[in-house]
Copies of this chain bind each other. A is one copy, B any other.
Amino acid sequence: MRVLVIGANGKVGKHIVDKLKSADHDPVAMVRDPDQVPQFEEKGVDTVLGNLEKDFESAFYKIDAVIFAAGSGPDTGADKTILIDQEGAIKSIERAKHFGIQRFVMLSSMLADRPESGPSGMKHYLYAKHRADEHLKQSGLDYTIVRPGGLTNEPGTGCVMLQENMNNFGEIPREDVAETIAHLISVPKAENKSFDLISGSDPIKELLS
């Protein structure tokens, strides 16, 4: 499958591109800045320029599935949380619909399904992610929403715990999140479902198979 990775230059996004390639998919890395292109081209990965706050229509050309992994990050204001995490996601969903791309995987966040129970400093972020997730659920697309716990930069273990609703919070390496997403994108049983995700003992390659 030719998979558009929105936010490919992000910390999880870079891993997603690699994991898609390892899984014999054909990733297309959408990046904002021309300086971000060479690192992907050196690996033989197609890139496309697109800015979530402006135009990124052309990115959806000849795409079979979309992964939204963009985020404004912790160093920008909450205005960018609205414009990127929420509205960038909603625009991406609408573009996918417009182009008839049926498969859409969202990198969300643990607690985005119940933002009112999040810590006060994160509530606005969780609500923004919640709105994007809700928009996807009602879009008619074949969605999968992945809500990982606290992200770390540890190397991936290849094993996780994936459940539709989890009561325990936990951490997980970004690499394992990326591998899980790259796996679930072609798993029919993952369609139209939302999952919490933390480190665990279940091999990613066997999830929902």
Contact = CB atoms under 8 A, between A and B. Distances in A.
A21 interface: no
A184 interface: no
Contact of A131 (B123, B124, B131): B131
A188 interface: no
Interface residues on A, range: 10 to 19
Nearest to A123: B83
Between A79, A123, A127, A131, the greatest number of chain B beta carbons within 10 A of the residue's beta carbon is seen for A79
B81 A127 contact: no
Tell me what chain A mostly uses at the interface: helix, strand, loop, or mixed: helix
Copy tally for this chain in the complex stands at 2
A78 interface: yes
Interface string A117-130: 00000011001100
Interface in A163-204: none
B82 A128 contact: yes
A144 interface: no
Contacts of A131: 86, 131
Contacts of A82: 78, 81-82, 124, 127-128
A127 B86 contact: yes
Contact of A83 (B80, B86, B127): B127
A8 B97 CA distance: 40
A44 interface: no
A34 interface: no
A81 B83 contact: no
Interface in A119-155: 123-124, 127-128, 131
Interface of A: 77-83, 86-87, 115, 123-124, 127-128, 131
12 contacts: A77-B78, A78-B78, A78-B79, A78-B81, A78-B82, A78-B124, A79-B81, A80-B124, A82-B127, A83-B123, A83-B127, A86-B127
